[in-house]
A and B are shown apart, each in its own frame.
Chain A
């Protein structure tokens, strides 16, 4: 592992290959106060692929996910040791401003949480505060189109976002994330609060987005993980309730041919 010298822009230079992962974690330990939530997490996330985080509740999937766009910084007492590299640059270098990171590594949450503002404003706000110079109407339209929501809302852009259905709200949240031109989108159980039909639409959307974005998705749904992802990270907890990475690899391999007994048990539904 080599860490590049600090640069504000942290540009991506490598080709789309295993030698140049967009995210690289090396021996990451995360603590909440005295409690160690996860230990020794090492993995590489490839550009324009979908990586799924699976594992039982409380094993630290959300914790690891949040460490990738420094959302954990917002939790008092949260602390990280080890390396998280973004395009080869240290994300936790003291000169890095997390605000800049979160534009480039967006997030979609478990419960749809649009701003209590108009649909239009939900998309436009993030772009505006980040100093977007282009045509705002156009951006709103393309973002909503990319999130497969445009046709449903194009006539009511000025209406409040909370009037949409749960599934529409979640796609709006995805559109909102897309509108600030992220490179990576982190999704923490994005469909777990939705009905099966809405879930299906979100899954289709995620597969669409793969051509342009790197996606990391936490899910409790084994089917979802196997349908969507290229790579799968299986987390477990030890006897101290500290999470660790039990297995990481090709989704096909992890699901069909797990190297690990625990992985096999979990995937076949024996626990979790």
Chain B
């Protein structure tokens, strides 16, 4: 083609340049828009993390119910007590009931100094939270904290990390300084286990049926449409369904009365089993759809090569299709479970306990979960509960992060194994 033709088809050099300029400009504009969206998302994420971290650490101003100097003269801190003084105070000041329980759990003589100090602080000194400050104020607004202390006789400030080892192992308590999430953590883990055991086999099975067996007829198309719709139903509606079906209608089963013969159950069907089944229903459509996508991604040529040597449908699915899609199925399931892990509304609706300090012992126990606990703490008016809620959020986020990383790790591992074998 000669240059004359070129001009006829694409215009003069100038035309080409003008158009090119416009095309470049267009590209740059869109790039800027996308960058802005990403920056905005990052900004909100940073704000979220900042706000959580801010309320998880910081100064707490406390007032003691009993000053240590009134226990042992001229000693301003329990930590300066001698061993003899610690034991003496413990025996003389603890109420008879508490003393008996403490001695039963572990004799005072056998306890270390640190354990005795903690014991005396919790039961005798009884520091009470007056006011809490966030990390930001603690670092940059210490003056205000000092002023507050000056105004309040006998108050003192302690820098506190609300996430700490005792927070993880303590159960619920009306005293924010001693409250923890152990019960909620166990509740969450139990529930997620029930959800997994219920939703994984059914979800994967349903997906295999729909993808590999179901004929393309009106009934199956309606079924598919329904599953899509179910995955978009708000979670609170699953809560109402769970309340009606698992808690009320199936109470004899979900309370354990029918199976274990538990008669005095106070749970009334508001058990881990009910909660797990409700969340199972919630994630079922997600697992089904995800598994279907995973099965769709398996090339048909693999199925054909299996049928070609005389395999049945089930042999094809079990030996070739499932192994080829297992990584996706697994990661999708873990992600669905992490969604269930963070659900609050349906569990509140079916009646997660507001205050229990007994660890769940099985699927027929009453329960509370981490998100429910966060919800309840954040609804309290006292400031210290907000710090507890934040600390629990940190724990929840870390757990979710672990779950999601596990998903990514497993996927990479299975993929590598597949590549090596193939």
Contacts and interface: CB of A to CB of B under 8 A. Distances in A.
B308 A106 contact: yes
A173 interface: yes
Interface residues of B, number: 24
Contact of B304 (A74, A99, A104): A74
A116 B304 contact: no
Contact of A103 (B215, B304, B310): B310
B418 interface: yes
Nearest to A118: B421
Interface string A46-77: 00000000000000000000000101001011
Interface string B298-338: 01011111111111100100011000100000000000000
Given A111-B301, A113-B301, A129-B315, A102 B421 contact: no
B304 A109 contact: yes
B222 interface: no
A177 B309 contact: yes
Contacts of A108: 308
Q: Is the interface of B mostly helix, strand, loop or mixed?
A: helix
Contact of A129 (B299, B305, B310): B310
B304 A71 contact: yes
Given A117-B421, A117-B422, A126 B319 contact: no
A17 B201 CA distance: 55
Contacts of B422: 116-117, 160-163
B310 A76 contact: no
Given A113-B302, A113-B304, A99 B320 contact: no
Interface residues of A, number: 34
Contact of B305 (A99, A100, A115): A115
Which of A109, A114, A129, A180 has the largest number of chain B CB atoms within 10 A? A129
A12 B4 CA distance: 72
B305 A109 contact: yes
B219 to A, nearest CB: 15
B326 to A, nearest CB: 12
Contact of B312 (A69, A99, A111): A99
A142 to B, nearest CB: 16
Interface string A214-230: 00000000000000000
A114 B305 contact: yes
B153 interface: no
A173 B216 CA distance: 31
A100 B311 CA distance: 9
Contact of A109 (B301, B310, B312, B421): B301
A237 interface: no
Interface in A92-107: 99-100, 102-104, 106-107
Interface string A158-176: 0011110000000001001
Interface in A163-196: 163, 173, 176-177, 179-180
Contact of B310 (A102, A116, A162): A102
Contacts of B215: 76
B306 A115 contact: yes
B420 interface: yes
A126 B309 contact: yes
Interface of A: 69, 71, 74, 76-77, 99-100, 102-104, 106-109, 111, 113-118, 125-126, 129-130, 160-163, 173, 176-177, 179-180
Interface of B: 215-216, 299, 301-312, 315, 319-320, 324, 418-422
